Amino acid sequence: MTASAASALLGRQLKQMQSDKDIPGISCGLVKDNIFEWEVMLMISDDCKYYGGGFYRAHLTFPLEYPHLPPKMTFQTPIFHPNIFATGDVCISILHAPTNDPYGYESASERWSPVQTPETILLSVISMLSSPNDESPANVEAARMWREDPKEFRKRCRANVRVSLGED
């Protein structure tokens, strides 16, 4: 697929997401009119135990080879989570290139596939916020706290929610 084909596909997917009223809590737009870089706002519903009520800004950066290769997702708003690096980079199986995992943790079927869309990525990330995977953490401190000190983990997460709302 050429960059122009990827650009056209991303344009259709962005338009679909912007017009779809069935996706509550997700807003998308472009960064500097670049179809390969999206700004995303995730408004987390109150029923999410740790991040509920938060407004989290992130960027999705798509490669020219999209949809054959996955985008990269990076939170711009601070977020403390076992599957999010301190840099804000999201570590979730569907954003890993469609190759075999050299560590044997993920099967190829769990990794990126061209059938994934920005919508499925964002819905997976929202699900990940409620159900972290602490077996293969990007943030070891968050994973340890999630397992060993859930009260402190929740406290750290709620502090991030306040920051996301501009309260701190």
133 — pLDDT class (breaks 50, 70, 90): confident
Task: Give the tens place of pLDDT for each residue, 153-162.
Answer: 999 999 999 9
Domain 3-164 in CATH 3.10.110.10? The answer is: yes
Q: Annotated catalytic sites, by residue? A: 91
Percent of the chain with pLDDT over 90: 71
Tell whether the model's pLDDT for residue 103 goes beyond 60: no
Q: Cβ neighbours of residue 151 under 8 Å, at least 6 residues apart? A: none
Query: Taking a C-beta distance cutoff of 8 angstroms, is the pair 54, 161 a contact?
Result: yes
Residues 41-53 pLDDT 10s: 999 998 888 999 9
CA dihedral 139, 142, 147, 149 (to 10 degrees): 160
Average pLDDT, the chain: 90
Q: Is the peptide bond before 102 cis (omega within 30 degrees of 0)?
A: no
* Whether pLDDT at 142 is above 80: yes
Question: How would residue 100 be classed by pLDDT, with cut points 50, 70 and 90?
Answer: low
Q: What's the rounded mean pLDDT across residues 54-76?
A: 96
